[in-house]
Amino acid sequence: MASSAGEDGVSDSQRNKNNKKKKIQGDELLTVPDGWREPVFSKDDNPRGLLEESSFATLFPKYREAYLKECWPLVENALHDNHIKASLDLIEGSMSVCTTKKTFDPYAIVKARDLIKLLARSVPFEQAVRILQDDVACDIIKIGTLVRNRERFVKRRQRLIGPKGSTLKALELLTNCYVMVQGNTVSALGPYSGLKETLMIKQELAKDPELRSQSWERFLPKFKHKNLTKRKEPKKKSVKKEYTPFPPPQPESKVDQELASGEFFLRESVKRRKKLEEVKVKQAEALTKKQEERNKAFIPPKEKPLLNKANKASSEGKLNLEALKEKVKKAKTKKLGAPPVNLALDCSAASSTDKKKKKKHKT
């Protein structure tokens, strides 16, 4: 019988077992034991500090200005522990971080850069500060260019969030990361190995022997399909005609029309006369229309009716009746005629005037 042993006398099954053992040992070497953490980078590791100054800046949208203005003192305090200077420019709408002479950790400026990026993408300060920890990383994923159609993009983004944020919460449990969907980007914040972890709900269900073979739909989040945007309807709706199995009737030709009217049997001279008469009638109608349009310019416009002076006076009299009544009352109170004069004064005045005249004559 042919044996499966090779030149060294080792069977294929034994070789496979050895390879599996080597793979298992390699996987064990790659895994990090529970509870182990990387040692903290202290000032003793880099006592002289950094040689050059490094700085990063990022822009933020207008709607984040009020929130950043409130929480900026907290950002400065958090970065002050790592000896990094932060500045906020509300005029340009930018945030910037830079190292100082006291900065000893060279990777601290990269963490500060990620912090201001997360704050610009609507991540709250309480979550964004976690990036300063050693075992936490972040990623800003651009999703705006994944779909061409804007309506489809909005629907898919809403599906990613889910009803009342249930899908987003499930993703956070799955990856052990904080996920923030804002505009055309998704900000993820968590450990490096977060994406390799499984969903906690499915883990617990798989452990239970009774629920292992049953449907898990009642435990998972349910979705309601909603149309976010209605389909655009055309302005002009084309109304379809009723369907008829028979083809449309064939249109009549000129020969058929002449046969029906009897013109087909007339002579050519008679046909020419008729055509000339029709042309003359059309020309006469066109001339009359043109003449009417020209005559419209000479027609005077209708004038508004003018009020007579008598009518105006009557209207003014009706309006000023009360004023006239008051004038009459005032006139009744006054005494008519010249004021009364004393006779004695008149006689003395007359005698004095006569004496003056006599003296003038004597002289």
Q: Quick check: helix, strand or coil at residue 162?
A: coil
DSSP H helical ranges for the chain: 12-30, 65-80, 108-120, 125-128, 150-161, 166-175, 200-207, 254-261, 268-296, 309-319, 321-333, 343-362
* Number of helices followed by number of strands (H, E) in the chain: 12, 6
- In the numeric block, which tokens belong to residue 249? 């009737």
CATH number of 135-208: 3.30.1370.10
List residues bridging with 58 in a β-sheet: 95
Query: Between helices 65-80 and 108-120, what is the axis angle to 10°?
Result: 160
Supply the pLDDT for residue 312. 56
Supply the pLDDT for residue 79. 92
Supply the pLDDT for residue 116. 94
Structural contact between residues 222 and 159, judged by C-beta atoms closer than 8 angstroms:
no
Supply the pLDDT for residue 198. 40
Structural contact between residues 148 and 162, judged by C-beta atoms closer than 8 angstroms:
no
Domain 43-133 falls under CATH 3.90.1150.10: no
Compute how many other C-beta atoms are within 10 angstroms of the C-beta atom of residue 187: 23
**Domain coordinates of the chain in residue numbers?**
43-133, 135-208, 262-295
Provide the residue-wise pLDDT of the chain in tens; the chain has 363 residues: 444 444 455 566 666 656 655 555 554 555 666 677 778 888 888 888 888 889 999 999 999 999 999 999 999 999 988 889 999 999 999 999 999 988 888 889 999 999 999 999 989 999 999 999 888 888 888 888 888 888 888 888 888 888 888 888 888 887 788 888 888 888 888 887 654 444 455 555 556 666 556 665 665 556 565 655 666 777 778 888 888 888 888 888 988 888 888 888 888 888 889 889 999 999 999 999 999 999 988 888 888 777 665 555 555 555 567 777 787 787 777 655 545 555 444 555 555 555 555 555 555
State the Cα–Cα distance between residues 115 and 128, nearest whole angstrom.
6
Structural contact between residues 144 and 191, judged by C-beta atoms closer than 8 angstroms:
no
Query: Alpha carbon of 356 to those of 44, 218, 359: distances in Å?
Result: 141, 142, 5
In whole angstroms, what separates CA 349 from the centre of its chain?
A: 104
Length, in residues, of the chain: 363
Supply the pLDDT for residue 355. 53
In whole angstroms, what separates CA 214 from the centre of its chain?
A: 47
Supply the pLDDT for residue 280. 94
Same fold, 43-133 and 135-208: yes
To the question of pTM greater than 0.85 for the whole model, the response is no
Structural contact between residues 118 and 138, judged by C-beta atoms closer than 8 angstroms:
yes
Instruction: Name the residue with tokens 């009549």.
Output: 252
